[in-house]
Amino acid sequence: MAARALRAGGAASASGFLRRASPGSLLPGLRKLTSSNNRPREDSWLKSLFVRKVDPRKDAHSNLLAKKETSSLYKLQFHNVKPECLEAYNKICREVLPKIHEDKHYPCTLVGTWNTWYGEQDQAVHLWRYDGGYPALTEVMSKLKENQEFSEFRKARSNMLLSRKNQLLLEFSFWNEPIPRSGPNVYELRSYQLRPGTMIEWGNYWARAIRFRQDGNEAVGGFFSQIGQLYMVHHLWAYKDLQTREDIRNAAWHKHGWEELVYYTVLLIQEMESRIMVPQKTSPLQ
């Protein structure tokens, strides 16, 4: 009897306590305890979803990817010509551009000049190299303003064009130096718009991939943009003809490792374009 009384008294006491301390009155304390214990962990987990880790590199892409032994800057020009003016445009380019190329007064070199054959039609493409980088570019532009023949050339050219654009480029350290070559050749300019932030990855993969494409001496030059459309990469190739191009590209797929490099670089590309070009008679790249 005494034991039952004690149990009953204890139950009644507990019941009274539970009635006084309702569930709602206990929850704030529990919430506070739970929140204070788990908040740092939750914040850390959420941040891991939305905050991208910053690469600890301390140098610009241009310094990591470009040739160290030269300070050359390249300018790539795209001129969309009125169809009825293409022949006249080519004629004045053949007359004026080689003079600038050959004049030691200008620290620049005409690397190549072409018309597109397949791709965007009625288009001229010019590639210039400025030996000495941006100071050389500034010097050339300043001197050309005082060149009367060039001023007349620009005026005549402006009446023949539909549109034009250019980009300033650096060359990849692992690519061939674009040097004059004899022909006849057709040239392919493959242009890649990369996803922002992927240029280093592209360079790492292509530093290995270029070894698969040297057998036929088809690699002319590889460049990446600095001014103009950014995260642009241009690869310039030379082939005897279109069938040779097809044969060389197909042969690369039989080399162990090529398919893996293609797979990973494709993931970095937003857009790509191929131009087949024929050189002008005065182009150093024939």
- DSSP assignment of the chain: -HHHHHHHHHHHHHHHHHHHS-HHHHHHHHHHHHHHHHHHHHHHHHHHHHPPPPP---S-HHHHHB-SS---EEEEEEEEE-GGGHHHHHHHHHHHHHHHHH-TTS-EEEEEEEEEEESSSSEEEEEEEETTSHHHHHHHHHHHHT-HHHHHHHHHHHTTEEEEEEEEEEEBTTSPP---B-S--EEEEEEEEEPTT-HHHHHHHHHHHGGGG-TTS-EEEEEEEEESSSSEEEEEEEESSHHHHHHHHHHHTTSTTHHHHHHHHHTTEEEEEEEEEEE-TT-SB-
For 105, residues 6+ apart whose C-beta sits below 8 A from its C-beta are 143
Please report the pLDDT score of residue 157 as a whole number. Answer: 97
pLDDT of res. 215: 82
Tell me the pLDDT band of 253, cut-offs 50, 70 and 90.
Answer: very high
Task: Look at strands 232-239 and 269-279 and give their pairing.
Answer: unpaired
* Model-wide pTM > 0.75: yes
Distance between CA 253 and CA 74 in Å, rounded? 31
pLDDT of 16 > 80? The answer is no
Task: Report the C-alpha dihedral over residues 266, 272, 276, 280, rounded to 10 degrees.
Answer: -120
Q: Which residue has the tokens 């009953």?
A: 8
Confidence of residue 65 (pLDDT cuts 50, 70, 90): confident
The predicted pLDDT at position 148 comes to: 96
pLDDT of residue 67: 65
The answer to whether residue 173 scores a pLDDT higher than 70 is: yes
Could you tell me the two tokens for 125?
């493409």
CB-based burial, 265-286: b 16+ in 10 Å, e otherwise = beebeeeeeebbbbbbebbbbb
Q: What mean pLDDT, rounded, does the chain reach?
A: 83
- On the question of pLDDT at 47 being above 50, the answer is no
Alpha-carbon span 267 to 208, nearest angstrom: 17
* Confidence grade of residue 45 (pLDDT, cut at 50, 70, 90): very low
Weakest mean pLDDT among 24-38, 64-78, 119-133, 224-238: 24-38
> Over the stretch 86-137, which tens digit does the pLDDT of each residue have?
999 999 999 999 999 999 999 999 999 999 999 999 999 999 999 999 999 9
- Cα 262 to Cα 254: distance, rounded to the nearest angstrom: 13
Angle at 222 between CA 80 and CA 259, to 5 degrees: 110
CA distance 74 to 190: 16
Look at residue 66 in the predicted model and tell me its pLDDT. 74
Residue that is written with structure tokens 């620049």 in the block: 108
pLDDT (mean) for 147-155: 96
